[in-house]
């Protein structure tokens, strides 16, 4: 598992914070994400779970993209993680995409009916799926399945910089 650094502007970060209040999660369409992630990644994804934990001075925000891998007949989590730290003088903003994650539940193998259903355009938006939280939004303590929390913690451990040191202590998940 590795973190590929990925640039994020302060403006993109502010727009991302507007989607999901601190210490909560929200399920959105990948095309609603205000951060300019790779287009091919967005196009392969059918849902994004935004998780935001911390306070006004230190926060970790994750966009956990659920993407379809038709060749392996699987659905994978592809997290983008961002750490923010403000000590009153400087702002540290670090971000990256987690590659080759290995936490329990990162990859699931739905039944064949799932893949037959997604062959038609747009149907995936309506297909009931076990990897998506049952509620569209809520407090992070309510976030299920647990694989999303595992993605968040793995990302928090991988993120580098001053934010990492402070966030491990402050994140509330």
Q: How many CA atoms lie within 13 A of 18 on its CB side?
A: 10
Mean pLDDT of 74-95: 87
Give the model's confidence band at 153: pLDDT under 50 very low, under 70 low, under 90 confident, else very high.
confident
For 28-97, where are the alpha helices, taking DSSP H only? Answer: 39-44
Does pLDDT of 162 surpass 50?
no
Phi/psi at 75 (5° precision): -120, 125
Q: Which residues, other chains included, contact 168 with Cβ-Cβ below 8 Å and sequence gap of 6+?
A: 156, 157
**Closest to 51 measured CA to CA, from 88, 77, 87, 89:** 77
Structure tokens at 149: 């929390």
Please determine, for residue 37, whether its predicted confidence score (pLDDT) is greater than 80: yes
Query: Whole-angstrom Cα distance, residue 165 to residue 132?
Result: 30
| Phi, psi at 119, each rounded to 5° | -60, -35
In this prediction, residue 173 carries a pLDDT of: 44
CA angle at 154 for the pair 151 and 160, rounded to the nearest 5°? 130
Q: How far apart are CA 94 and CA 1, in angstroms?
A: 18
Residue with tokens 């000590």: 87
Identify the pLDDT of residue 125: 54
pTM: 0.80
Which phi and psi angles does 20 have, rounded to 5°? Answer: -140, 115
Element (H, E) at 15: helix 10-19
Portion of the chain with pLDDT greater than 90, in percent: 23
Rounded average pLDDT over 17-46 = 91
Cis-peptide, bond into residue 145, ω within 30° of zero? yes
């Amino acid at each position: 598992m590795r973190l590929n650094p990925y640039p994020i502007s302060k403006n993109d970060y502010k727009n991302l914070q507007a989607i999901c209040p601190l210490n909560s999660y929200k399920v959105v369409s990948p095309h609603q994400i205000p951060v300019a992630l790779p287009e091919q990644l967005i196009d392969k994804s059918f849902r994004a779970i935004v998780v935001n934990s911390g306070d006004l001075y230190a926060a970790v925000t994750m966009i956990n993209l659920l993407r379809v891998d038709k060749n392996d007949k699987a659905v994978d989590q592809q997290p983008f993680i961002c750490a923010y730290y403000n000590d009153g003088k400087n702002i540290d903003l670090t971000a990256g995409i987690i590659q080759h994650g290995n936490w329990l539940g990162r990859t699931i193998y739905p039944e064949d009916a799932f893949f037959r259903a997604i062959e038609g355009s747009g149907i995936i938006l309506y297909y009931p799926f076990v990897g998506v939280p049952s509620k569209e939004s809520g407090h992070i303590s309510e976030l299920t399945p647990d694989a999303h929390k595992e993605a968040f913690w793995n990302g928090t451990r991988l993120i580098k910089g001053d934010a990492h040191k402070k966030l491990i202590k402050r994140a509330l998940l």
